[in-house]
């Protein structure tokens, strides 16, 4: 997979989008369309002390996650990427889809504050290798670069 070409395409998609909700919606759809072996791609947005379900592609999802709960909440508190090869081995895992086997979460940062968590699930173990995680982190940085954090979601 040519991740550099995908990043260039993603940047062109995002660069002129003034609406954060639209940008995140297209970002989830873009990854879902271009990365195989995923069963959920989306965002949890931080607001009022909790992470609330944002734009996504996949089955119905958990709509509220507290900081520190599950992989999403832990990634939020630590403000770091977390890769889980087998979610069934994580005591703190929140199972929204029983078919999910592996997961990666990446914080979307607004300066030093975590604005959202970019969450991806896969129906196979060890789906998120180093090259894919590196690409997804660069993709997250593109999102940060193109969001106008002063405007809100719409």
| pLDDT of res. 52 | 96
Residue 60 CA to residue 125 CA, distance in Å, equals 21
**Which pTM was predicted?**
0.95
Domain count, the chain: 1
Does residue 119 lie in a domain region? yes
Percent of the chain beyond pLDDT 90?
A: 82
Give the pLDDT confidence of 41-54 residue by residue, as tens digits. 999 999 999 999 99
97: pLDDT strictly greater than 70 = no
Give the pLDDT confidence of 3-27 residue by residue, as tens digits. 999 999 999 999 999 999 999 999 9
DSSP state of 134: H
What's the CATH code of the domain at 127?
Answer: 3.30.450.40
Does residue 154 lie in a domain region? no
Q: Look at residues 3, 113, 99 and name the one whose alpha carbon lies nearest to residue 67.
A: 113
136: pLDDT strictly greater than 70 = yes
| pLDDT of res. 90 | 80
What range does the domain containing 118 cover?
A: 3-146
Residue 79 CA to residue 76 CA, distance in Å, equals 5
Does residue 39 lie in a domain region? yes
- Could you tell me the pLDDT band of residue 143, with boundaries at 50, 70 and 90? very high
Give the pLDDT confidence of 32-88 residue by residue, as tens digits. 999 999 999 999 999 999 999 999 999 998 889 999 999 999 999 999 999 999 988
Does residue 89 lie in a domain region? yes
Helix (H) or strand (E) holding 71: helix 70-78
């Amino acid at each position: 997979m040519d991740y550099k070409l995908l990043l260039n395409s993603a940047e062109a998609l995002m660069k002129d989008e003034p609406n954060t909700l639209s940008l995140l919606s297209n970002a989830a759809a873009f990854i879902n369309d271009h990365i195989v072996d995923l069963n959920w791609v989306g965002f949890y947005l931080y607001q009022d002390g909790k992470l609330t379900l944002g734009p996504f592609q996949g089955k119905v999802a958990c709509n509220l996650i507290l900081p520190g709960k599950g992989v999403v909440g832990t990634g939020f508190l630590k403000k770091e990427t977390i890769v889980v090869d087998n979610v069934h081995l994580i005591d703190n895992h929140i199972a929204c889809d029983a078919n999910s086997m592996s997961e990666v979460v990446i914080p979307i940062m607004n300066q030093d504050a975590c604005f959202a968590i970019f969450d991806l699930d896969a129906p196979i173990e060890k789906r998120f290798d180093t090259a894919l995680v590196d690409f997804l982190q660069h993709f997250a940085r593109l999102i940060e670069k193109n969001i106008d954090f002063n405007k809100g979601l719409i």
